[in-house]
Amino acid sequence: MTDADLILCEMLVLRCQRQDACAAGELVALFEKPLLYFLRRLVRSEDDAWDLLQETWISAFRALPGLRDARALPAFLYRTARNHALARLRHREADYRLHSAVDASPISSEPEPAFAAEDAAAVHAGLDKLSLPHREVLTLFFLRDLSIAEIAAVLGIPPGTVKSRLHHAKKALRAVLCEGGHHVA
């Protein structure tokens, strides 16, 4: 997020703390798309994603009056959304494996694939074929709302692990796209 976005966030949080109903609506509108996109990558079903988005905002608004660092709101929202999604996945998905050994191999020296806006449709379809840890880290990276340190805080892992997981996830996504006949730089 840019400085302007973070300031806007802080401003909206302040207005929410003053019980400004319009600010609450603006805050929801600001994060609606990226949070929904993130949740849909985690749970796949659109209905589930909307339900989880609602639960996320209920939790967020309960915590908002006591939120000291308003600029940490984006990371807080993604972490809350992820926690709700994982709680639901634990109940529903038998194949839920967050701590799978996907990042065991070291980072190779070959250049990381870069994804452009023209690849969006393929990237979007490819994300669904990745494992959950790869899917969530790549989605957070593509949404560009959070820094590596903030992604690490959301996922509850060290920043170094985020970098390596991101590296492996990009390679996995490139492999998926190449299988589908899509060329990535």
Partner 1 sequence: MSHENDLREALFRAEPVNTERQQRFRDELAQIMEPRLSRCYRLYYTVSLVGLVAGLPGAACGVLFDGEHRWIWALGLLGCSVFAGWTFYILRRNTEPLRIMQGMSKVFTGLSAVVAGFLIFQGLQGPSLSNVFWALLGLLVFLLASFINLWNRVIVTERTMREHILRVEYRLADLNQSAH
DSSP of 113-134 = P---GGGHHHHHHHHTTS-HHH
Piece of 104-112, 118-126, 151-159, 164-172 that binds partner 1 (CB under 8 A)? 118-126
Residues 126-145 that bind partner 1 (CB under 8 A): 142-145
State yes or no: residue 180 binds partner 1 (CB under 8 A). Answer: no
- With b for 16 or more beta-carbon neighbours within 10 A and e for fewer, the 67-99 pattern comes to beebebbbbbbbbbbbbbbbebbeeeeeeeeee
Binding mask 63-92 for partner 1 (x = CB under 8 A): ------------------------------
CA dihedral of residues 85, 59, 146, 38 (deg, nearest 10):
30
Fill in the amino acid letter for 40.
Answer: R
Distance, CA of 44 to CA of 93 (rounded, Å): 11
Question: Nearest distance from residue 28's CB to partner 1, in Å?
Answer: 6
State yes or no: residue 157 binds partner 1 (CB under 8 A). Answer: no
Distance, CA of 114 to CA of 175 (rounded, Å): 13
Q: Which of 22, 44, 45, 46 binds partner 1 (CB under 8 A)?
A: 46
State both tokens at 127.
């994300």
State yes or no: residue 2 binds partner 1 (CB under 8 A). Answer: yes
Distance, CA of 79 to CA of 150 (rounded, Å): 10
Q: Which of 28, 67, 102, 157 binds partner 1 (CB under 8 A)?
A: 28
Closest to partner 1 by CB, 63 vs 108, is 63
Q: Are 158 and 152 in contact (CB under 8 A)?
A: yes
Piece of 11-19, 78-86, 157-165, 170-178 that binds partner 1 (CB under 8 A)? 11-19
Closest to partner 1 by CB, 9 vs 103, is 9
Distance, CA of 77 to CA of 83 (rounded, Å): 10
Binding site for partner 1 (CB under 8 A): 1-5, 7-8, 10-11, 14-15, 17-19, 21, 24-25, 28, 30, 32-34, 36-37, 40, 46-47, 50, 53-54, 57-58, 61, 115-121, 123-125, 142-145
